[in-house]
Structure 1
Amino acid sequence: MNRFYPHASYSAARSQRFVALFLLMSLIVAMFGAKAANAATDNSGLSLNAKSAILMDAETGQILYQNNADTALPPASMTKMMTEYLVFKAVQDGKLSWDQTVTVQENASLQIGSRVFLAEGDKHTVEDLYKAMAVGSANDATVQLAETVAGSEEAFAKLMNETAKQLGMTTAHFINSTGLDRADMPEKYRPTSIDGETVMSAKDAAILAYHILKDYPEFLNYSKIQSFKFRPTDKAPVVNWDWMLESNKNVTNFKKFAYDGVDGLKTGHTSNAGNCFTGTALRNGTRLIAVVMGVPGDSNDGKRFLETAKLFDYGFSNFEKKTLVDAKATVPGYETLKVKKGAHKKVAVVTASDLTVLLPKGKTVNPTVAEVKPLSDPLVAPIKQGDKVGTVTYTYKDPATQADKTVTLDLIASEDDKKAGWFKLLLRSIGEFFSGLFKGIVNLF
């Protein structure tokens, strides 16, 4: 016999309503918690529409802004910055020359995506292939340059990973020279000794750009090219994917994205990576590096450039250069360093360069001397004016990030100290002997 228990039914319904209300409140708390977490990492008011971003001073590597900047993400063709760096290094080291003719191999001819349609057996100079890579992000030209440097793209990828560690990049992992996903590589040429996919954090991308600009500033001569014809017979030129170039301010399709001072560096896009961009701009003697990764939308909507412009605006509007220590300044308490075998027992020293940083406008800091380290203690004469004789390390708190910063400057001699003659050294030794003897006698009492 079925029985109806109204109180039990009511109690069950009330429990279900309670559970539903609890779940709803939990969801609301989680949503507000996520917003609070985001606000904690981005208190600049930028509200960037990107998975990660960073803004860096290109002169010192100082970070002015970052949001999720340490997370490794697919960088797409921003990977090519490492290829560009290593090809420049190969040229500088004499392993390649810009006018060297290269014969295109099969791997390059099989590449997909952005390319200049190289065919196996084609012959082109290193410089033409480099332009195709830097301007048009050509995967085929990139692969051919990688193979020319290292013998195979897989060997080149290993070189990329080794170099990343040397440059201080902590998350970067490369499987190829282009940034293509493994599945988009020609099956025959997919790496067997390197696992996973290519990833790199925004901070690592900025570090890489920093080293390109420091070590090979001539790279900008390529990255700022608006367009060029890869072959004289090509109907259409290769157009630079960097729509932010200052030179685009009069180009109808790009002028809304053109930004004063931009002359590089590298775009990137795949379905997995979204839209990425590492850009650099120079204004009034200050050069900044900005990186955005995972910007949603189509690669042809230009949103990554609008997000990058927010970073540049923030940097140029809110920061100014401040010299904390002048070049050729004495270090209080360390105005001289000891010298042996010299005409004098001490030599005057000063800083070799200044300590200049970007600070929020209206802010200042007072650096503290943490360490003075001579090249040897004592130094050995002869010493010429301008010779490096040691280093001085300063510490200060960055008012933008509240992080403790450490900067080391070289110390140089501000005067000559010639090697003393044998007679003077003899007299000095005799004096030091009797001085030490007298002190020893005094200590007996």
Structure 2
Amino acid sequence: MEFFKGLKKTLVGLLAGVTLFATTAAGLGNLTTVSAASLPANSDSSLNLDAKAAIAVDATTGQVMYSKNAQEALPVASMSKLLTTYLVLKAIHSGKLSWNDKITPDEASQKVSQNTTLSNVPLKADHSYTVKSLYEAMLIYSANGATMALAYKVGGSHQNFINMMRKQAKEFGINDASIYTANGLTNGEVGSAAYPGATKDDENKFSAQDMAIIAQKILTDYPEVLQTTSITKKEFNNGTDKTMMENWNWMLKGLAKAYTALPVDGLKTGTSDTAGACFVATVHKDGHRIITVILGAPHSSDTDLSRFEQTQKLMSYVYNGFTYKTIKAQSDYKQTLPVHNGKDLTTKVVTAKETHLWVKNTDTDAKVTASVSGKKSLYEKGGLQAPLKKGQTVGTYNLKLKGQELYFLDGANALKVPAQTKVAVDKANIFVIGWRALTGLFK
């Protein structure tokens, strides 16, 4: 027995070499992550959207089905409120804020709320409002003063909240945005809440891709946001009087641009002279939810319908031009990963959960192709460290479509799905390990 213990120690390095050879044959070259991919400038010019930029994505996977100038940062006006919304909901879920907390508006927020040329519910300096009421005013009526009051409460100061927005954007992987206000007004329009060191004309800018990322994060982390963004009309209680708030999202059921075939239930509009008419929307149809973003649609008055017409055109393009392909859990694409010191030197892997891809109707015969990359933290000496349990997550499947380029919000060009072992792999005994090392000397 002592002989074999010594043999194990002295030949472990040689064994690593043998295992590395097996690993390479089994696909160790796929360990690196998928390289980032740029979105096409215009993925389908035949759609001819009347907007400066646009994007359509799957709300779950982030697959991009359409893009037009989607990576250029542009003014987005009140669509900025979605990032503020995320931070408010984050504070609620962390326990730092509750819906029934009362807020007495600070001077800057109260003053902006009195500006009748902007979308607002007038806030009183001597009255307190619940977080829930200000939150509803922000999302339903795009109330600018109410948004600032919420931001002040969450951040402790207007400047600090903007810093929080910038930090959150970077955590989302957004590095091209310009952020100065919580509500999307220019820096000069928020009065004493202006961000220091910036000019009065500085304004928030995000790309269409950025806005889709923010929308996807909200829908994933805080899906209850749709309970509010789907409200068409509600009264705002201001103590002695009330303000009727009508949703600016006219694609909601019962409003001017509602379309039965597209049951839109959120998210946010944005309008200004520099931004034009903007709209980030979401719709759940036939069991599948998508997000669309329109930036810079024509704008000449508050009654413009262009952004909704462009949104309808884009949503219809996705649902009519693509087929939804389900990839079931436990799908086996004949992929293996190397195993170190296992009874078997490789293990078969399958998809750990159900997922999906949108396939162009012109490519309905497109087949799914797959590669797999191992989870680096589980690797030792060039392979997954045995023993391995059945159903253990050991890596990532990278799924593509033969004949169709894929793009995702995170920059990947493949759909990433957790990969798990198809069967258990026991650890080899010391005799097998020693024998492999010994026979490896003669190969």
TM-score by length of 1: 0.78
Of 267, 270, 281 in structure 2, the residue corresponding to residue 265 of structure 1 is: 267
Structure 1 residues without counterparts, runs of 5 or longer: 1-39
Rounded Cα–Cα distance in structure 2 between residues aligned with 1:194 and 1:233: 38
In the TM superposition, residue 193 of structure 1 has moved relative to its aligned partner by: 4.2
Identical positions, percent:
35
In the TM superposition, residue 96 of structure 1 has moved relative to its aligned partner by: 1.4
Q: Is the 8 A contact 1:241 1:267 kept in 2?
A: yes
- In structure 2, give the amino acid aligned to 1:351: T
Q: Is the 8 A contact 2:236 2:242 kept in 1?
A: no
In the TM superposition, residue 436 of structure 1 has moved relative to its aligned partner by: 3.3
Structure-2 residue corresponding to 1:192: 196
Structure-2 residue corresponding to 1:64: 65
Assess, with a 3 A threshold, how the Cα gap between structure 1 residues 429 and 311 changes in structure 2: closer, same or farther: same
Structure-2 residue corresponding to 1:209: 215
Of 206, 227, 244 in structure 1, the residue corresponding to residue 233 of structure 2 is: 227
Q: Is the 8 A contact 1:55 1:311 kept in 2?
A: yes
Rounded Cα–Cα distance in structure 2 between residues aligned with 1:439 and 1:190: 70
Structure-1 residue corresponding to 2:188: 183
- In structure 2, give the amino acid aligned to 1:160: M
Rounded Cα–Cα distance in structure 2 between residues aligned with 1:176 and 1:123: 22
- In structure 1, give the amino acid aligned to 2:417: L
Of 240, 243, 247 in structure 1, the residue corresponding to residue 247 of structure 2 is: 240
Rounded Cα–Cα distance in structure 2 between residues aligned with 1:431 and 1:53: 59
Of 304, 307, 311 in structure 1, the residue corresponding to residue 310 of structure 2 is: 307
In the TM superposition, residue 45 of structure 1 has moved relative to its aligned partner by: 3.0
Rounded Cα–Cα distance in structure 1 between residues aligned with 2:98 and 2:403: 43
Q: Is the 8 A contact 1:105 1:121 kept in 2?
A: no
Q: Is the 8 A contact 1:132 1:230 kept in 2?
A: yes
In the TM superposition, residue 219 of structure 1 has moved relative to its aligned partner by: 0.8
Q: Is the 8 A contact 2:294 2:311 kept in 1?
A: yes
Structure-1 residue corresponding to 2:108: 107
Secondary structure of residue in 2 paired with 1:71: coil
Rounded Cα–Cα distance in structure 2 between residues aligned with 1:274 and 1:191: 23
Q: Is the 8 A contact 2:106 2:125 kept in 1?
A: yes
Say whether 1:411 aligns with 2:419. Answer: yes
In the TM superposition, residue 170 of structure 1 has moved relative to its aligned partner by: 3.8
Rounded Cα–Cα distance in structure 1 between residues aligned with 2:355 and 2:260: 32
Q: Is the 8 A contact 1:128 1:230 kept in 2?
A: yes
Structure-2 residue corresponding to 1:358: 358
Rounded Cα–Cα distance in structure 2 between residues aligned with 1:172 and 1:104: 28
Higher normalized contact order (CA 8 Å, seq sep 6+, divided by chain length): 2
In the TM superposition, residue 280 of structure 1 has moved relative to its aligned partner by: 0.8
Assess, with a 3 A threshold, how the Cα gap between structure 1 residues 176 and 437 changes in structure 2: closer, same or farther: same
Rounded Cα–Cα distance in structure 2 between residues aligned with 1:156 and 1:202: 23
Structure-2 residue corresponding to 1:322: 325
Give aligned pairs, total.
387
CA offset digits 1:367-420 (Å, max 9, x no partner): 4434421432444456444332222323446737799822222122344567x7
Q: How does 1:332-343 map onto structure 2 within 5 Å? A: 332-334=334-336, 337-338=338-339, 340=341
| CA RMSD after TM alignment | 2.8
CA offset digits 1:20-55 (Å, max 9, x no partner): xxxxxxxxxxxxxxxxxxxx8374433322222222
Q: How does 1:45-56 map onto structure 2 within 5 Å? A: 45-56=46-57
- In structure 1, give the amino acid aligned to 2:413: K
Secondary structure of residue in 1 paired with 2:251: coil
- In structure 2, give the amino acid aligned to 1:104: P
TM-score by length of 2: 0.79
Assess, with a 3 A threshold, how the Cα gap between structure 1 residues 285 and 123 changes in structure 2: closer, same or farther: same
Q: How does 1:124-203 map onto structure 2 within 5 Å? A: 124-186=129-191, 188-194=192-198, 196-203=202-209
Q: Is the 8 A contact 1:275 1:298 kept in 2?
A: no
CA offset digits 1:191-222 (Å, max 9, x no partner): 11456321112221122112111221111111
Structure 2 residues without counterparts, runs of 5 or longer: 1-40
